[in-house]
Amino acid sequence: MRTIILASQSPRRRELLEQAGYIFKIIPSTVEETVTCNEPSEVVKELAMQKARDVFEKCSRDASDDGYTSAQLLVIGADTVVAADGNILGKPESVKHAKEMIHCLQGKTHYVHTGVAFVWADERTGLLRTHCFSESTAVSCYPMTEEEITAYVNTGECMDKAGAYGIQGRFGIFIRNITGDYNNVVGLPISAVYHQLIKCGLQ
């Protein structure tokens, strides 16, 4: 049985994996992220793979001390971005920045892209194997007044989230509709994760 490592400290991703019945450890990546592409769906795949590889390397070095071998490891990395009007919106750097992001989203449709990467070693050969995919969801928001934007940002729930909002939180009242996987917007397309693990022979 493989030891699953989630290379993310996101509480939303942790909760989704737990709800799906997975038993895993959390070891966040500390790699300095580097982006070489512009397409949002490719950016998240690139970043997810960097995180997964970073944690796999760390865990492989420490494997014997932790009671397992590197051949038993499966590291799952993930990264989520919000794209609006062709621009990628990461996590806000300030309250002012968060308000600017919400202004870009209100009354419009934007896209949430999550990249997921698997890194593991072949149990027979020991060779490193990887798999990566991305999921995209369209999210339409109602128009918002300046007062509504300020009130939402002042809740503080937006500051650690891509696009400066959490669909599972108070911002939910401003969501007109979504097309695609709701959990993808939360931070991890858990159903796609399950089926991709099957595809890779890891489930």
The catalytic residues are 79
CA distances (Å), origin 199, targets 17, 120, 159: 18, 14, 36
Beta-bridge mates of residue 179: 138
**Which tokens is 166 given?**
């959490």
Distance of alpha carbon 191 from the chain centroid: 14
In terms of DSSP bridges, do strands 87-89 and 73-84 run parallel, antiparallel, or are they unpaired?
Answer: antiparallel
Dihedral sign for Cα 183, 146, 155, 164, please: positive
